[in-house]
Structure 1
Amino acid sequence: MGLRTEKKSRKLRKSVGRRKREKDMTERSREIFGNAIARRDYQRAVHSKEKYARKFGDDSREIYPVEIEDNPVIGERLGVKDIRLGQALRSGEQIGPADFDHRKGLIVGNIRMGFGHYRISMAMASAAHALGYTPYWMDLNSYPQTTATKLISAQNDLYSLGSRLSRFRVFNKLVWEPMNYEGFRALTYNASDQKKAELMAPLFREIPKDIPLLATHVWPAQAALHGGMRYVVNAIPDNWPMALHLAEGSLHTVQCNYAYQGYRTLYGFAKKKVLRSIPPDQLIYTGHYVDHEIVANVQTDCQARIERKKRGEPMRFLLTIGGAGAQRDLFGAIIRHLLPAVRNQRAALYVNVGDYRNVWEELLADIPELGRCATEHFLNFEEAAAFADGALTDSVEGVHAFYHRNIFEAVYITNLLMRSCDLLVTKPSELAFYPVPKLFIRRVGKHEMWGAIHSAEMGDGSLECRDIPHILQMTDLFLGENRELIRMCENIQRNKDSGLYNGAYRAVELAMHLREKS
């Protein structure tokens, strides 16, 4: 009996301590923008948090020392500094404050979950650097000693698995598309996410609370608020409004007017129920989140595309293989279809497989001719970047393949190649919002559908081609005539003049202004 009583006592002390720490956090799961969450759904959210705490641990009492390092890949180009967290301090250990720039510093909070959130983060860092600020990169999925990273990594593994399985029609129709379209849209999903984000709050214990934070995924925004950060902007991706992306207490930004209306009214977030709206001062339309280097050169790059097309130079196709490699079959069909044009110097290919070397090996196995004509730019970012820079003025022929293990290199090489390509071939993910002519192939998740629709209406991308025959039809339209490519280039130039692609600058300025007006 004595042993059992002692165990109960320890359990009670832990429970009391946990409740005290939770009491210090603002409760964000019972009510969302004035909309009450049903008791049953709230309890489900609480139980979800408890389940994750049991599985991954509860480090809410830990103190992680903070260090600042130059980012080895984009540090020189974009001025990015990494926020690193060390091992939790032992009892009695002391640490000094990290060397942050409290006047010009801006934290870009993100996670690695696919390439899209990293891409938005690079756009924000680029814009911040161009505006004279110091961007600090904080990836919540890069601290393996923490509960936050363990939780996020597990979720990322599930998401990557779902992306790969989405190529199977039954799974895609019954599981993947409904979850990415209506499942994440439900307000109750946000209540559950907010509870999970409480487990991520310890990451911010030693981060200065007066530095603005610009989050490119909702978890860094939610976790930052739970961790006491005072100036948080939540940069919402895509063009399909979902409760998944809400972080009440932050300033929300969106890229499209359609998304603005959806988030303003929370339309469909509780099926047919009319919900209380997001206050107007907590939601801002900014335009597309795009890197400074790309925005600043839109007019020049589009004019170069028009001139290359008129001169009959090989048309440069940039194929970016995302979706955890789920679309290899589509890219294989495109490459196979274009190889005769490559031989005849009517087309040239850039193929970026990101950090999926296996995808390139599978393409070589399926298309033996590809290996005989491809130049591999693998695992040497400086050489690949030099090729991309040279392609802005040099002629390009043949097939050029790119693969990098490092996530920064894998993502950023697409940005560098984008400026010299003529047509970007991609699923309608975050790349749908970039100022380059685009051919959209089948989406990976129904929420991406609205990115293609928006791009087609803005005139800088095609409609979504969901099967190989229609993809090849659109490919031949671009390759066989001048009109489609030139029309898109001219639309992009007009969009640039209207400020459509200035969203990253605006988001950065909003984040810095939050502190100025406080």
Structure 2
Amino acid sequence: MADRSKVIFGNQMSAKDYKKALEKKKSYLRQFGDDSKAAYSAKLVENATLYEPLGVYDIRVNEGEGEIPFDTEKGIIVGNIRMGFGHYRISIAMASAAKALGYTPYWMDLNSYKDTTCTKVIGKQNDLYSFGSRLSQKLPLFNKLVWEPMNYEGFRQLSYNAADQKNAELMAPVFHSIPKDIPLIGTHVWPAQAALHAGMEHVVNAIPDNWPMALHLAEGATHTIQTHQSYMGYRILNGFKKKEVLNPMPAEDLVYTGHYIDHELVANIEKDCDARLARKKNGEPMRFLMSIGGAGAQRELFAAVIKYLLPAVKAKKAALYVNVGDYKAVWDELCRDIPELAEISTTHFNDWADTNAFAQDAIVGNVEGIHAFWHENIFEAVYCTNLLMRSADVLLTKPSELAFYPIPKLFLKRIGGHEKWGAIHSAEMGDGSLECEDVPHTLQMIKLFLEEEATLKYMCDRIKANKVSGLYDGAYEVVKLAMAKKSK
């Protein structure tokens, strides 16, 4: 295999950048050890949260042999990492689409194999990224001078991809016992890169962001994108080496698919949008869904929104879902910031059956007040938002992976410059607001939703039209593409 840190899509890296990539790999080897010769076992286990609704099996590495055989005909691996919630959410969409199309989804989280060098490397980088995300919300100067530039231009450079490719070599051993002819969809670039280094034969790299960055390149895979806007940026590797004109990515390596969305959400778009408009027409409380990001940031913004909505909640003009994911401390802090919050809220904490029942009942039933959700299980923490979307009227979120979902959206301030392009795309598609970069503009949008029907109707109409155009069919298309690679 060619050294993918030396030459990337025909573009030679400088000796300095290559040396830096090698040194980074050596540093991790010194910290975490070399397990490249390890013969790690792999077995399949039903996923406790996702097996029943989506048929998902976990791939467990280094836990002995299992009794369930890999299905090399219908099986498809969704390779991901726990780094925030976004990559898990996109993975859920892929698993949902796979099941809907008759395939068996295998969940492979490279950040879950604690005894491996792979997971130790990812874990360290995840800790740093989460810390940076939270810090960026507390220190405006750090956000302006460090975090935004790194997420916007730093990750854009080929030199970053060169370093990642070397790091991905350390992740390859976890694939030792996995059949190499099972198609794999990477919902983060590292599983895609690692799979290729390990000799997996049919790899699709599902790019999550709308801002083209070299971070997301996995040469040797088929790259999929959710928007036409990002196509040429990836095709010509625009800005990936400052102003240098680069050799382009081959046309066959880049495919537009549309948004990566769960089958259950896509199949019910018309019904759910009609229900939103009916609730508005009937004067029922408007349901706002607030979903905190996987780094646990933006608590202060959440508090400002909740305080603003409290009078409307008490007057039964609004209802509020607050999903703090697996960050119980965020809810506790919100309750300290807003003393009456705990008293007037109904909590759905760490009880998945209760959360499921509420989400299903709310689709057709009445909802009032504030409902708070917290689950220490990461799958429940993430999937909770997906389940609540169907009965919610408006989703309040930073413009991350949720920017692409078929629900009216109010965009909170981004965390990282790359995220702003998610809001821009959503506004262009008509299913979301502009990014509200401060509290006053956020509250302005909430007021619009509460006091008039036009904004909600406009977004619902666009969502239904977008469905007809196939905009939300991306997960189906990625799965089809991955399985088609096997038949070539």
Query: Could you say which TM-score interval applies, normalised by the shorter chain?
Result: over 0.9
Q: Determine if the alignment matches structure 1 residue 112 to structure 2 residue 99.
A: no
Q: Determine if the alignment matches structure 1 residue 433 to structure 2 residue 404.
A: yes
Q: Determine if the alignment matches structure 1 residue 420 to structure 2 residue 388.
A: no
2-side partners of 1:206 and 1:74: how far apart? 23
Runs of 4+ aligned residues of structure 1 deviating over 6 Å after TM superposition are 95-98
Match for 2:311 among 331, 337, 340? 340
**Cα distance, 1:215 vs structure 2:** 0.5
Deviations 1:473-511 (A, max 9, x none): 111011111100011000000000000000000000000
User: Equivalent residue for 1:276?
Assistant: 247
1-side partners of 2:332 and 2:395: how far apart? 22
SS at match of 1:257: coil
Q: Determine if the alignment matches structure 1 residue 367 to structure 2 residue 338.
A: yes
2-side partners of 1:317 and 1:364: how far apart? 18
Q: Is the 8 A contact 1:320 1:425 kept in 2?
A: yes
2-side partners of 1:33 and 1:490: how far apart? 41
1-side partners of 2:218 and 2:68: how far apart? 27
- For normalisation by structure 1, the TM-score amounts to 0.93
Pairing 1:81-100 to 2, within 5 Å after superposition: 81-86=57-62, 99-100=69-70
SS at match of 1:238: coil
**Cα distance, 1:26 vs structure 2:** 3.7
Percent of residue pairs identical: 66
1-side partners of 2:380 and 2:274: how far apart? 27
Question: What one-letter code is carried by the residue in structure 1 that aligns with 2:329?
Answer: N
Cα RMSD (Å): 1.0
Pairing 1:33-432 to 2, within 5 Å after superposition: 33-86=9-62, 99-167=69-137, 168-322=139-293, 324-432=295-403
Q: Is the 8 A contact 1:418 1:424 kept in 2?
A: yes
SS at match of 1:214: strand
1-side partners of 2:424 and 2:319: how far apart? 27
2-side partners of 1:500 and 1:261: how far apart? 18
2-side partners of 1:450 and 1:164: how far apart? 20
Question: What one-letter code is carried by the residue in structure 1 that aligns with 2:118?
Answer: A
Q: Determine if the alignment matches structure 1 residue 450 to structure 2 residue 421.
A: yes
SS at match of 2:83: coil
**Cα distance, 1:197 vs structure 2:** 0.2
Distance 1:96 1:112, change over 3 A: closer
Q: Is the 8 A contact 1:318 1:423 kept in 2?
A: yes
Q: Is the 8 A contact 1:319 1:350 kept in 2?
A: yes
Question: What one-letter code is carried by the residue in structure 2 that aligns with 1:487?
Answer: Y
Q: Is the 8 A contact 2:350 2:375 kept in 1?
A: yes
**Cα distance, 1:325 vs structure 2:** 2.0
Deviations 1:16-75 (A, max 9, x none): xxxxxxxxx541111000011011111111111111111111100111111110000010
2-side partners of 1:66 and 1:326: how far apart? 35
For structure 2, the residue ranges without an aligned partner over 5 or more in a row are none
1-side partners of 2:228 and 2:314: how far apart? 44
**Cα distance, 1:346 vs structure 2:** 0.2
Distance 1:79 1:124, change over 3 A: same
- For normalisation by structure 2, the TM-score amounts to 0.99
2-side partners of 1:79 and 1:26: how far apart? 37
1-side partners of 2:158 and 2:60: how far apart? 33
Q: Is the 8 A contact 2:43 2:66 kept in 1?
A: no
Deviations 1:247-292 (A, max 9, x none): 0000000000111111001000011111111111000000000000
Question: What one-letter code is carried by the residue in structure 2 that aligns with 1:70?
Answer: E
**Cα distance, 1:323 vs structure 2:** 5.0
Deviations 1:455-483 (A, max 9, x none): 00100000000111110011101111110
Match for 1:466 among 429, 437, 440? 437
Q: Is the 8 A contact 2:181 2:201 kept in 1?
A: yes
